[in-house]
Amino acid sequence: MSQALTSGLKIGREMDPDLAMLTGEGAQQRVKQAEPDAGSIVPLWQRISSRPAESLPDYYRLPLLKEPVWIWSVPAYFYLGGVAGGCAVLAAALPGKRRFDALASWCRLLACAGVTVGPALLTWDLGKMTRFLNMLRVFRPSSPMSVGSWSLAGTGMLATLSLLLGKKAPSSVRYGTALGGVMVAGYTGVLLGNTANPLWLEKRRLLPPLFISSAIASTAGALELLPLNLHEEKVVQRFGMVGKVGEAAAMVAMERRTPANKEAVYGFEKGRGGLLWNAAKVALVAGVVLDLIPAKSSTRRKASGLLTTLGAICLRYALLETGKDAAREPQAVIGPQRRRMQGGE
Amino acid sequence: MTATGFFTDTSVCIGCKACEVACKQWNQLPADGNFFSGRSYDNTIHLEATTWRHVAFVERSLQLSGQITARPFSWLLMSDVCKHCKRAGCLEACPTGAIVRTEFESVYVQPDVCNGCGYCVVCCPFGVINRREDDGRAWKCTLCYDRQKTGGEPACAKACPTDSITFGKLDELREIARKRLELLHSRGVHEAYLYGMTDDDQPGTGGLHAFFLLLDRPEAYNLPPEPAVPTKGVGASWGTMGVAAAGMLVAAVAAVRSVEGGKK
């Protein structure tokens, strides 16, 4: 046995490949450790509080659903995709006047950077990174991830073309990039809403507006960090204010608990998810307050941009963390479904 | 090809875990290690990427109807498995086309196509499919696609000593299940019911190809009471996205116009 293990061929399976062939459906599964470890099972136990099993009808308080397996790069992409989308839209809306040249070229650059780095971040999360092109193997309208992959690929090409052609880009390319940008900024909200996760499912109508308004805010936040002239600053600030107000409203609505969804919408108050969520709120409000100070100074603008950016990033991570919390809580799945059944009867 | 599936009759399950073992052996799935859950005889805990059958042990100080014990105590046993839903959340979510419907109308993940995006994991309303960390791909029960192709029955059904797991053509299974339910009801086991057998029982998934006869509420076995495929009603999300997207375009134009004063 030790020979089979040291050969590194079939580790973790306690089977000598010379004696038997592994051809079963699961035989291709790779295992890291020679001694099988807990996998994802032990952490699961550690996270579960013990509570008398009789009080609620569930199975030893064990999670009913699987947690999202996405790593840090996915919320990072959510942020970048939002910035890229907002920049693409703003670039198309700006008139071709000289005083907006700098802003327009920054927008084109950020849009292109966002939709090029974004897919790289998504690939980093894949279990099999070499197979990232399989995302474009089929088009499946029922899957927001498939729709998003195609939008991202299309917008990537258009945004690169816009960047290369610069001011000379034909309007079809400019407007095409803007439409693609809107898709990239918004589909992520639908993607989270189209899951069985109790929190995201409960808030499925709210997530797309939250993502889009936060995309506007993040765009303004990122642009405010750059050198801008007076006209450009005004445009960015007004565009951003719409997004920030929308984001704040959507966040308030996200937190709203009704008797129907009380178990699912509890993660905003505690744990890592709650911390990130509150940080997002504080940063967003602080950014708006700075915006409203009438004094004209680039430091104030940059500080506001930084706070807005931080808030938008925290928001994306908070959504993933609170989603994980909701998946861990069996009552978040059972409760709302039970009440829906009773209401329907 | 006609649709095949499982009918798992929990009223005759004895919790021997032969199905778990047979599945692991036939599919040559990696071990999960040795764990002691400390809550019941269930140390497998849940369905996983490496565990495609899982026997639940519902151990409670509760008396079942017709049961005579010195003090209230009962066990409910159920061998859980991927449900191979008629409308499968994982299949509808898979962006690569790795998850397909086979000629037996089961749901199958092609390991040579899956790129491990993890979207099926959050889209399964039963929490069945998962991505194995060191492998990187998503795995779940294949309804023994390889055995079925050569005319065999799945390993778990073959191994089940009490025929709690019955494999067969879906139409025939439904007939067997109805008869079994009638028999149980006539014997006074009124709490018995069929979980997810048809579209009417479970409109959210359109019916399960692996359905169950249960003796308590679904949540007692860690099954969702009313699961639905996430794509049901997702039109509303696309709708609000459309409205917000239009708002974004208007906001950009308005911000520029307000500075430019609308002059050309």
Quick check: B248 pLDDT over 80? yes
For residue A161, the surrounding DSSP H or E stretch is helix A144-165
Instruction: Write the CATH number for A180.
Output: 1.20.1630.10
Is A169 within a domain? yes
The Cα–Cα gap between A281 and A273 comes to 12
| Residue A57 belongs to some domain of the structure | no
Q: Is A330 on the interface with B (CB under 8 A)?
A: yes
What pLDDT band is residue A13 in, cutting at 50, 70 and 90?
low
Task: Flag whether A248 is in a domain.
Answer: yes
Dihedrals φ, ψ of B122, to 5°?
Answer: -85, -10
Residue A301 lies in a domain: yes
Q: Which two three-digit tokens encode residue A227?
A: 């050198």
Mean pLDDT of B114-130: 97
Residue A211 placed within a domain: yes
The reply to whether A268 falls in a domain is yes
Residue with tokens 């920054």: A106
Say what percent of chain A tops pLDDT 70.
Answer: 86
ipTM metric: 0.93
Is pLDDT of B159 > 50? yes
Burial A283-301 (b: 16+ CB within 10 A, else e): bbebbbebbeeeeeeeeeb
Min CA distance, B57 vs chain A (Å)?
A: 9
Measure CB to CB from residue B117 to each of A26, A145, A209 and give the nearest one: A145
Q: How far apart are CA A267 and CA A324, in angstroms?
A: 9
Portion 200-229 of B in contact with A at CB < 8 A: 217, 219-227
Q: Structure pTM? A: 0.91
Report yes or no: A77 and A121 within 8 Å, Cβ to Cβ. yes
User: What's the whole-number average pLDDT of chain B?
Assistant: 93
Please check whether residue A4 is in contact with residue A28, taking contact to mean a CB–CB distance below 8 angstroms: no
| Chain B contacts in chain A segment 157-176 (CB below 8 A) | none
CB proximity under 8 Å: A 2-61 to B: 12-14, 22-32, 35-42, 44-45, 53-54, 57-60
The single-letter code of the amino acid at B123 is C
**pLDDT tens digits along B193-218:** 999 999 999 999 999 999 999 999 99
Total residue length of chain A: 345
Residues A230-254: tens digit of each pLDDT: 999 999 999 999 999 999 999 999 9
Residue B238 has pLDDT above 70, yes or no: yes
Across A3-12, A170-179, B117-126, B133-142, least confident range: A3-12
B130 in contact with A at a CB cutoff of 8 Å?
A: yes
Closest CA to B75 of B220, B177, B183, B207: B220
pLDDT greater than 90 at residue A42? no
**b (16+ CB within 10 A) / e for B173-210:** bbebbeebbeebeeeebeebbbbbbbeeebebbbbbbb
pLDDT given at position A344? 58
The residue segments making up the domain with residue A164 are: 73-339
Nearest to A196 by CA among B226, B203, B110: B226
**Beta-ladder partners of B48:** B51
State how far Cα B108 lies from the chain centre. Answer: 13
A288 in any annotated domain: yes
Tokens at A149, concatenated: 């992959």
**The pLDDT of residue A32:** 64
Per-residue confidence band for A161, with pLDDT thresholds at 50, 70 and 90: very high
Which residues lie closer than 8 Å to B252 by C-beta, 6 or more apart?
A89, A90, A92, A93, A239
- At A55, the pLDDT band (50, 70, 90 cuts) reads low
A contact test, residue of B259, B263, B264 with most A CBs within 10 A:
B259
CA atoms within 13 A on the CB side of B198: 8
Domain count, chain A: 1
A131 close to B (CB below 8 A): yes
d(CA A89, CA B252): 7
The mean pLDDT of B181-201, rounded to a whole number, is 94
Confirm whether A345 is domain-assigned.
no
Centroid of chain to Cα B123: 11
